[in-house]
Chains A and B, each alone.
Chain A
Amino acid sequence: MKNSTLVKGTAAIAVGAALLLGGGGTLANWNAEATAAPGTIVSGDLNVVKSVNGVWKDRAGTVIPDITAYKVVPGDKLTFTQDLTVTLVGNKMAANVATTGISATNGFTPANVAVSAPALTVGSTAVANPLKPTVTGADQTVTATITFEFLSTTTGRADTTASYNFNNVAFQLTQVTQPGLS
């Protein structure tokens, strides 16, 4: 008889304790944790720079050190080459290179000179836009070429001491969208 009372009392206490234990937040369900390291995202690059001044050459390919000191005559054909350093980095990078052209101050009779628009080449081949990054990501060189010809059809004493000021010739590198970009 005594035993059953003790047993009952104990059972009650145990049950109460069990109830208490079940009601609190200190006994959490299973949990585990892990750490992810997404890494570092690095952006690419896009730039076009005129690193060195362009070079003028005469018809024979001889360099003209100072164009302001060289005086042209009918029949002269001079070529200006300007190297542009193009930086393109990015897995989905692509860019068009173009020129806004020449807007010169021309003191010659228009019919006596022939000036070409800037022609863009990579190596010896014409630029095929869009340009893509090189395999190693290294810079590539785009060359702009302009020719100025004082035509041999000039007669009399036309355009002696005339001048043709090229002013600034601008070049633009513009990123273009690629598959995978929005």
Chain B
Amino acid sequence: MRIKRSLQAAALIAAAVVLGLFTVQGTYALWNASAVAAPGTVSAASFDVALTAVNTGQATNMTLANGTAANLTLSPAGTLGPGTSVTGGVLVTNNTNAGGQFNTAITVGQATVANTAGGTLASYIIVNAKTATSSTECSSSTGYAQIGAGGIVSPTVGKGGSIVFCFQVGLTSGAPSTVKGQAVNISLPLTARQLCGVPSGC
């Protein structure tokens, strides 16, 4: 009698366990494993172009910390007489911290010549420019040319490289004596542009 009952009980338990396995499928998962990679952080370079005035040595970054364009005063040596000119220059350096290639081209645009104190000098001023590899070339009159609408573009300036823009400010020989003692403000826009470094083009 006893034997029979325990056998029956065992059979019931076995049945209950089997049913449990069928209905609660999710808890009986198959094997799984995982791994984690940490590629790290990719950072962009700075776009720093340094400007140094040839005559004074005054220096600035082309773009200020607040993101605005800097102004650099060049001080051409000497005074102007009709038919004479003075020169100045700026050393432009590609100071990027880029990891790979970062070639730039620097462009100087046409000059804006503004009279000061209601004078008339501006219309007698001629501004020419040229590129040079050394600031000593600025005082030589060879190579200067008018700045056209498209500006004067430098050769490629690579990472850490530099170029000199020389400026020649002249007074036309026909300038009247009435402009004697007057002054003008001359501003020239400088633009640095990254050159495409993608082999298939940008």
Chain A residues at the B interface, C-beta cutoff of 8 Å: 46-50, 54, 56, 58-59, 64, 67-78, 80, 82, 84, 95, 108, 144, 146, 148, 150, 152-153, 157, 159-177
Contact = CB atoms under 8 A, between A and B. Distances in A.
Contacts of B19: none
Given A56-B39, A157-B63, A174-B32, 20 more contacts: A48-B33, A48-B34, A59-B198, A67-B40, A70-B42, A70-B99, A73-B45, A73-B47, A73-B100, A73-B194, A84-B37, A108-B44, A152-B196, A162-B44, A163-B44, A166-B40, A167-B38, A169-B38, A175-B30, A175-B31
B15 interface: no
B37 to A, nearest CB: 4
B42 A170 contact: no
B interface secondary structure, majority: loop
Most buried by B among A48, A73, A84: A73
Contacts of B30: 174-177
Contacts of B33: 46-48, 172-173
Given A68-B41, A73-B197, A171 B46 contact: no
A50 B97 contact: no
Contacts of B198: 59, 75, 77, 152
Contacts of B45: 71-73, 160-161
Given A73-B100, A75-B202, A171 B44 contact: no
B174 interface: no
Contact of A146 (B39, B101, B199): B39
B43 interface: yes
Given A166-B38, A168-B36, A71 B67 contact: no
B96 interface: yes
| Range class of the B interface residue count | 20 to 34
A160 B96 CA distance: 10
A50 B44 contact: no
B44 A46 contact: no
Contacts of A153: 202
B102 interface: yes
A121 to B, nearest CB: 15
B88 to A, nearest CB: 27
Interface in B159-202: 194, 196-199, 202
30 contacts: A47-B33, A48-B33, A50-B36, A50-B37, A56-B40, A67-B41, A69-B99, A70-B42, A71-B46, A72-B44, A73-B44, A74-B194, A75-B196, A76-B99, A76-B197, A82-B37, A95-B32, A157-B47, A161-B43, A161-B44, A162-B44, A164-B43, A168-B38, A169-B38, A169-B39, A170-B34, A172-B32, A173-B33, A174-B30, A175-B30
